[in-house]
Amino acid sequence: MKPVASMTGFAVASRPTAIGPVTVELRTVNSRFLDLSVRYPDELRSVEQALRETISARVNRGKMECRLSISRVGTETFGGINPAALERLRRLAAEVSAAIPVASPLTTSDVLTWPGVVESPAADPEALRTSVIEALADALDALAASRQREGTALREVLRVNCDAIAAIASQVQGRAPELLAAVERKLVERLEQALGGALAGSSTLSREEVADRIRQEVTLYGLRMDVDEEIKRLTTHVAEVRRVLEVGGPVGRRLDFLMQELNREANTLGSKAAAIEMTNASVELKLLIEQMREQIQNLE
């Protein structure tokens, strides 16, 4: 049995690099297709294509946001001072001081943050790319585990709903003949009252003809109100939902289609309702199916 995965998840992973630890953060929510958004600093621009290919090979559906970041705090290799850049900054500061004597002098922080004064350690592009892909692989593993845990929980919820639908269908199937018979008896009484005048008057209809007409009307009504086929199709669809959940894998689209079919049968059952009990059953079925449909929207 393959696992069932949700499309909602979160994961983060880090790997060390020459310029500082690189962190990959993944967030996913439900979507009909894979909708990937990638954000990264300029230093990691070269890894975007490899990153997208790696994610596309592992994730089929969902709106995913991938964030890359580099923390330069705690790196073992520090940059050095660029003497040429420092000299240029000194001359510029002297010119500003001569032109504007009241200008505040540069602080150490101002000097160190001036572009080009501090030389950052160079990173091997291939080594950097390897570290990013490794961090991404760790994050994807954690994301897959998170999505599968939620998918397992959703599978159990759907199974419980399947049991509830099957119980309602069984109850309706068991009581349908009794309910239909009661409605037919009332129909016969009303038809006899309505057609009784035909026998009492000067109508050419005989008692046998009137009785035959009543039987025809009751039979046609019974055929229109018969829900046996709808109950059988409901049971078949529920069995297919259980089978799909048991097989596992990417089940979202298949289950979404089955929810449409279940809802169709529940609506037909409601339109054929011959008693308040059947109307209530149709409403309960539609509520359960809608709950399942909302959960299925999160499944991959």
Averaged pLDDT for residues 143-151? 93
Would you state the torsion angle of the CA atoms of residues 288, 294, 299, 300, taken in this order, to the nearest 10 degrees? Answer: 130
Averaged pLDDT for residues 144-169? 93
Q: Is the pLDDT of residue 293 over 50?
A: yes
DSSP string, 136-167: HHHHHHHHHHHHHHHHHHHHHHHHHHHHHHHH
Residue partners of 17: CB distance under 8 A and separation at least 6 = 70, 123, 127, 128, 131, 132
Contact present, 169 and 235 (Cβ < 8 Å): yes
pLDDT at residue number 75: 47
Question: What pLDDT digit, counting tens, does each position of 231-256 carry?
Answer: 888 999 999 999 999 999 889 999 99
Ordered by start, the domain boundaries in the chain are 9-75+123-148, 80-119, 151-296
Q: How confident is the model at residue 288 (pLDDT cuts 50, 70, 90)?
A: very high
pLDDT at residue number 209: 59
Q: Tell me if the pTM is above 0.75.
A: no
pLDDT at residue number 126: 84
CATH number of 9-75+123-148: 3.30.230
Average pLDDT of the chain is: 82
Q: How confident is the model at residue 289 (pLDDT cuts 50, 70, 90)?
A: very high
Which alpha helices (H) appear in the chain, and where do they start and end? 48-58, 83-99, 108-113, 125-200, 207-225, 228-247, 252-271, 276-296
CA-to-CA dists, residue 219 to 151, 190, 230, angstroms? 49, 15, 19
Q: How far apart are the first and last CA of the chain?
A: 16
Averaged pLDDT for residues 185-196? 62
| 120, amino acid identity | S
Range in 8-12, 180-184, 238-242 the model is least confident about = 180-184
Select the more confidently predicted residue: 130 or 272.
Answer: 130
Question: What pLDDT digit, counting tens, does each position of 39-94 carry?
Answer: 988 778 888 899 999 999 988 888 999 999 988 654 444 557 878 888 888 888 88
pLDDT at residue number 154: 94
